[in-house]
Chains A and B, each alone.
Chain A
Amino acid sequence: IQVTQSPSSLSASVGDTVTITCRASQGISPYLNWYQHKPGKAPKVLISGASNLQRGVPSRFSGSGSGTNFTLTISSLQPEDYATYYCQQTYGAPITFGQGTQLDIK
């Protein structure tokens, strides 16, 4: 199962709302997770099952979608949110990650 993530990079300012999209080559609901990865650190899971916020993750992060189309939305961007974000499908083996979206400060 291929997952195509867009955009590959994104520039935004503190306080902005951004949306990252992940499209799967077939229906995978709800087996879509989102991770945040900062340089020099281990990736961190943000959202599981397309829309379930992990414990301790700020509520400005939200996920939605079904079937083949999913989105990660970050509201009111904070300085610590600048990172690379990945979607991951776990519907079928081998599990696959999207190509990543690098979120930079504008």
Chain B
Amino acid sequence: DVHLEESGGGLVQPGGSLRLSCVVSGLTFTQQPMSWVRQAPGRGLEWVSGFSSGGLVPLYAGAVTGRFTISRDNAKSTVFLQMDSLRIEDTARYYCVKDAWGWLFDYWGQGIVVTVSS
């Protein structure tokens, strides 16, 4: 069974950094496209970043370009989201998601909360 588990969230001050991790099990991880999706309090779903094209090409939403970096460790079946220069508006629950094909997200983690506040 496919399972995704996020970690690394918490409270951080504006301008600070956090690194989210997502360990994936139950599938062959190498070249598996993965993404991060977030939901701010009271708001809808927003795609943040992900790998496409065989799991190798990183893409970013405009709101996080230049501040967030997605990476992966295939040996550990883990995808990361390095979040720098955090802003109050980055406060959200962040979901790690598996891409079935063409950005269709068929498996989701339970999400991890990131709070940016002074």
Chain A residues with CB under 8 Å of chain B are 31, 33, 35, 37, 42-45, 48, 54, 84, 86, 88, 90, 93-100
Is A95 in contact with B45, judged by CB distance below 8 angstroms? no
Is B106 in contact with A45, judged by CB distance below 8 angstroms? yes
Query: For residue A97, which residues in chain B have a CB less than 8 angstroms away from its CB?
Result: 44-47
Is A33 in contact with B44, judged by CB distance below 8 angstroms? no
Measured in the bound complex, the distance between the Cα atoms of B62 and A12 in whole Å is: 37
Minimum Cβ distance to chain A for residue B107 (Å)? 8
Q: How many residues does chain B have at the interface if contact means C-beta atoms less than 8 Å apart?
A: 19
Checking A35, A48, A88, A94 against B62 with a beta-carbon cut-off of 8 angstroms, the contacting residue is A94
Number of A-B contacts (CB under 8 A): 48
**Given A90-B103, A97-B47, 18 new contacts (CB under 8 A):** A33-B104, A35-B45, A42-B109, A42-B110, A43-B45, A43-B105, A48-B100, A84-B44, A88-B45, A88-B105, A90-B102, A93-B59, A94-B62, A96-B47, A97-B44, A99-B44, A100-B44, A100-B45
Checking B45, B61, B95, B100 against A94 with a beta-carbon cut-off of 8 angstroms, the contacting residue is B61
Measured in the bound complex, the distance between the Cα atoms of B100 and A73 in whole Å is: 23
Chain B interface, DSSP helix/strand/loop, else mixed: strand
Query: For residue A35, which residues in chain B have a CB less than 8 angstroms away from its CB?
Result: 45, 105
Measured in the bound complex, the distance between the Cα atoms of B47 and A33 in whole Å is: 14
Minimum Cβ distance to chain B for residue A79 (Å)? 23
Contact flag A95-B47 (CB < 8 Å), given A33-B104, A45-B105, A90-B102: yes
